[in-house]
Amino acid sequence: MKIKALLLGAIASTAFAPVAFAERGSDGHVSIIYWQAPSILNPYLSGGTKDLESASLILEPLARYDENGAMVPWLGSEIPTVENGGVSADLTSITWKVAPGLKWSDGSDVTAHDVKFTADYCLHPEGGCASLSKFDGVSSVELVDDMTIKVTFDGPTPFPYGPFVGNESPIIQKAQFESCIGAAAPGCTDQNFYPVGTGPFVVTDFRPNDVIQMEANNNYRDPAKPAFATLTFKGGGDATAAGRAVMETGEFDYAWNLQLAPEVIAQMQKGGKGIPVAGFGPLVERIMVNNTNPDPALGPDERSVIRPNPKTADPAVRKAMSMAIDRPLLVEIGYGSAGKLTCDLVPAPAIYATGNDSCLTQDIAGANKMLDEAGWTKGADGVRSKDGVRLSFSYQTSTNAVRQDFQALIKQWWSEIGIETELRNLNASVFFGGDPGSPDTFQKFYADVEMYANTFNGTDPQAYLANYLCNDAPRPDSQWQGGNISRFCSEEYDALHKKLSQTAGTEARAEIARQLNNMIIESGSVIPLVHRGRLSAHSTTLGGVKLNVWDSELWNVADWYRKDGS
């Protein structure tokens, strides 16, 4: 009991009276539906969120983020910091202690050997590890003793919580995966489908891209949890059907990521069988403005490579484009309670958000005035031009009902300020795929503006802000890979970002991050539209759900229970 109290201190402190259940498995069956079906339960070989979240029921990291974005120890005994000596004073290493007494679901002990193996597994050059960026800058991972592991970085790392933290980097069992390292990884079907874990559930039947059946882990650290004896994780279909199955027919207990129009959610809620819950991470739906010239007349080595884009080069145009947008209306129509207003690129966590609200009111007249003053005059067809450059934009995005509504609305607003827009929607798997042979990827950006959403994992925006460094722009010689989609480029920004990577202390880092955010927003290269939340729904009879957008949504499934009288 003492160990348990120690271990779960962080979680237990926020405890919601678990009186209803005192015994593992006493609440029967729980069913979860994700409209994307999991393909694999090894997060290091995963292809997307669906795999990571389903795997988080089984595999666990040393520390997780809780629903407020704060780090809590999970398999580790505490969060290492400079103060408690876990992080070295020069910020080049971090030492984790594995909590004592933990068992794998097969009954063996969890040790630091498993943690070390996890790092070796992911860092193997032929493995194709999906979480490799979590290990960025790691120079070595060493065993200190059976329960202690030390990660050394090749330079000062102010935020050393990449490896073994969060749902992308859980601990896998050495004994099970030993023969699966490197090029052998894909062949280990049994290991990838039935991983041995420390989490509250164990897989009994895995059908790729369809359904997973699980039962409670008998070796789970808290003898009273999980409350459910069995769990079904169904995948496939669409968000509408998933929402309907939870809120209208009550066939399922939990539905993930219901990206639906607010009216549709409201209608489903009338079914009375479930309730939607929303949580907000740093996800922002935005319009990216192309700083390079996407003119189809240019050759493949110049299109969307050479600067400037004659249509968007004038800051007045970019400013006017943003001013013409009625953001409260976009939130109301597209996201409802799952959307918030923002003028920032980094709207969360709160400490990084600037709280800028200058863009929240639509100002068509002001935008028109600004364009008039900048010398863009309206032609006979109502479209502005200047020096032979016509403000006629191509505007692309992925296929999605809400995005197409946004396109229609924004096209209308822009037409009111004399900007003509030609819309295109693209198949999401082509648009977000990085095929350098396709002209339609978002990296290639063969358009003047494009709309999508992006976010970052965890709570530190350094890597996210690195997406606006000059040399990160996609180009033919980088096979059109690179994170700087809008091709924003500023020496000042690059220098400031370098400073961020060397600064420690949350407050100081937040200050720099806010400055970086402002530089991008003021340049007009990114026009934020909506701060998007994640909307999920759970059955009215399911208790203990705490929507977490910083980690797996199913992070606290061990605490879920069936409400009394249902």
Partner 1 sequence: MTELSNPTPAKPPRSQWLDVWDQFKSHKGALMGGILFLLIVLSVYFGPFLWDIEPTKIDIRARNQGPSLAHPFGTDQLGRDMLARMMAGGQTSVSVGITAMLLALFLGSFIGVLAGYFKRLDGPLMRLTDLFLALPLLPLLLVMMLLFREPLNAAFGLERGIFILIVVSIGITSWMPTARIVRGDVLALKEREFVLAARSIGTTNTKMITRHILPNVLSPIMVSATLGIATAIITESALSFLGLGFPPDFPTWGRLLFDATDYLQQYPERVFWPGMAISLTVLSVNYLGDGLRDALDPRIRGR
Partner 2 sequence: MLTFTIRRLVLAVPTLLFISLVIFLLLELAPGDPMAQVPLTVPPEVKEKMREALGLGQPMHIRFWKWIVQFFWIEPQVMIDYYFGTSFSEGDLRVISWQTRSPVMDIVVQRIPQTLWVVGTAYVVAIIVALPIGIYSAYRQYSWFDQAGTFVSMVGFSVPPFFSGVLVIVIFSVQLGWFPSIYDTTHVVNSWDSFVKQLQQMVMPVMVLALQITAQLSRFMRASMLDNLNQDYVRTARAKGLSEYIVVMVHVLRNSMIPVVTVIALGIPSIFGGAIITEQVFKVNGIGQLLIGAIQANDLPMVQTLTFIFAVLIVLFNLIADVLYGILDPRIRYD
Q: Closest distance between partner 2 and the C-beta of residue 430, in Å? A: 5
Amino acid, res. 537: A
Candidates 44-52, 203-211, 259-267, 495-503: pick the segment binding partner 1 (CB under 8 A): 259-267
Cα distance between residue 49 and residue 497, in whole Å: 28
| CA–CA separation, 66 and 546 (whole Å) | 9
Query: 437 to 456, contacts with partner 2 by CB under 8 A?
Result: 437-441, 443, 452, 454-456
Q: How many CB atoms lie within 10 A of CB 369?
A: 14
Question: Could you say whether residue 434 binds partner 2 (CB under 8 A)?
Answer: yes
If one asks whether residue 424 binds partner 1 (CB under 8 A), the answer comes out as yes
HSE (CB half, 13 Å, CA atoms) of 484? 22
Select 393 or 464, whichever has its Cβ closest to partner 2.
Answer: 464
Residue 438 makes contact with partner 1 by CB under 8 A: yes
Q: Which of residues 175 and 409 has its CB atom nearest to partner 1 in the complex?
A: 409
Closer CB to partner 2, 61 or 80, in the complex? 61
Name every residue whose Cβ is closer than 8 Å to that of residue 189 and which is 6 or more positions away in sequence.
Answer: none
For residue 133, the partner it binds in partner 2, partner 1, none, with Cβ less than 5 to 8 A by kind, is partner 2
| Cβ–Cβ under 8 Å, residues 267 and 244 | no
Site for partner 2 (CB under 8 A): how many residues?
74
Q: How far apart are CA 53 and CA 387, in angstroms?
A: 53
295 touches partner 1 (CB under 8 A): no
Nearest to residue 517, comparing CAs of 327, 318, 348, 331? 348
Shortest distance, position 385 Cβ to partner 1, whole Å: 20
Query: By CB under 8 A, is residue 106 in contact with partner 1?
Result: no
Task: Tokens 């009625």: give the residue.
Answer: 326
- The neighbouring-strand residues paired with 312 are none
Q: Considering only 20-28, 66-74, 188-196, 336-344, which stretch makes contact with partner 2 by CB under 8 A?
A: 188-196
Interface with partner 1, residue 383, by CB under 8 A? no
Give 62 or 265: the residue with its C-beta nearer to partner 1: 265
Assign 306 to helix, strand or coil.
Answer: coil
**Residue 113 interacts with which of partner 2, partner 1, none, CB < 5 to 8 Å by class:** none
DSSP symbol at 77: S
Of 227-256, which residues contact partner 1 (CB under 8 A)?
A: 240
170 torsion bin: left (phi>0), alpha (psi -120 to 50), beta (else): beta
Contact positions with partner 1 (CB under 8 A) in 396-415: 398-399, 401, 404-405, 407-409, 411-412
| End-to-end CA, the chain | 30
Strands 63-65 and 274-289: unpaired
Partner whose binding site includes residue 295, from partner 1, partner 2, none (CB under 5 to 8 Å by kind):
none
Residue 441 and residue 479 in contact, taking contact as beta carbons nearer than 8 Å: no
Within its chain, how far is the Cα of 55 from the centroid? Answer: 16
Please, which residue, 85 or 300, has the CB nearer to partner 1? Answer: 300
Q: CB 168 → partner 2: shortest distance, Å?
A: 9
Closer by beta carbon to partner 1, 77 or else 396: 396
Contact pattern from residue 15 through residue 54 relative to partner 2, giving x for each residue in contact according to CB under 8 A and a dash for the rest: ------------------x--xx-xx-x--xxxxx-----
Residue pair 154/90 in contact by the 8 Å Cβ criterion: no
Interface region with partner 2, contact rule CB under 8 A, candidates 230-238, 314-322, 353-361, 539-547: 230-238
Residue among 23, 154, 178, 238 that touches partner 2 (CB under 8 A): 238
Asked whether position 248 contacts partner 2 by CB under 8 A, the answer is: yes
CB 434 within 8 A of CB 445: no
Residues 6+ apart with CB under 8 A from 464: 282, 346, 454, 455, 456
> Which value, to the nearest 10 degrees, does the dihedral of the CA atoms of residues 504, 508, 511, 512 take?
-40
Taking only Cα atoms into account, the Rg of the chain, rounded to an integer number of angstroms, comes to: 25
The secondary element (H helix, E strand) that includes residue 4 is helix 2-7
Is the dihedral angle over the CA atoms 434, 135, 459, 258 positive or is it negative?
positive
Cα(464)–Cα(159) distance, integer angstroms: 13
Span near partner 2 by CB under 8 A; candidates 69-77, 91-99, 335-343, 436-444: 436-444
Q: Taking CB under 8 A as the rule, does residue 440 contact partner 1?
A: yes
Q: Which of 23, 146, 205, 522 binds partner 2 (CB under 8 A)?
A: 205
Q: Among 26, 88, 92, 232, which residue sits at the site for partner 2 (rule: CB under 8 A)?
A: 232
Contacting residue, 91, 430, 463, 466, with partner 1 by CB under 8 A: 430
483 binds, among partner 1, partner 2, none (CB under 5 to 8 A by kind): partner 2
Assess 431 for contact with partner 1 (CB under 8 A).
yes
> How far, CA to CA in Å, does 200 sit from each of 82, 163, 211, 255?
32, 22, 18, 19
| 3-class SS of residue 119 | helix
Query: Residue 454 binds what, of partner 2, partner 1, none (CB under 5 to 8 Å, by partner type)?
Result: partner 2
| Options 87-95, 183-191, 329-337, 416-424: segment touching partner 2 (CB under 8 A) | 183-191
Q: Using CB distances below 5 to 8 A depending on partner kind, what does residue 109 bind out of partner 2, partner 1, none?
A: none
Of residues 301 through 360, those in contact with partner 1 by CB under 8 A are 329, 333
- Does the protein bind partner 1 through residue 210 (CB under 8 A)? no
According to the binding rule CB under 8 A, does residue 208 interact with partner 2?
A: yes
- Helix residue spans in 183-289 (DSSP H): 189-193, 239-247, 262-269
CB of 240 to partner 1, least distance (A): 6
Report the nearest approach of partner 2 to the CB of residue 453 (Å): 8
Q: How far is CA 355 from CA 211, 288, 455, 473, in A?
A: 42, 20, 17, 28
CA atoms of 159 and 166, how far apart (whole Å): 14
Contact (CB, 8 A) for 85 and 228: no
Applying CB under 8 A, the residues found at the interface with partner 1 are 240, 260-261, 263-264, 267, 296, 329, 333, 398-399, 401, 404-405, 407-409, 411-412, 422-427, 430-431, 438-440
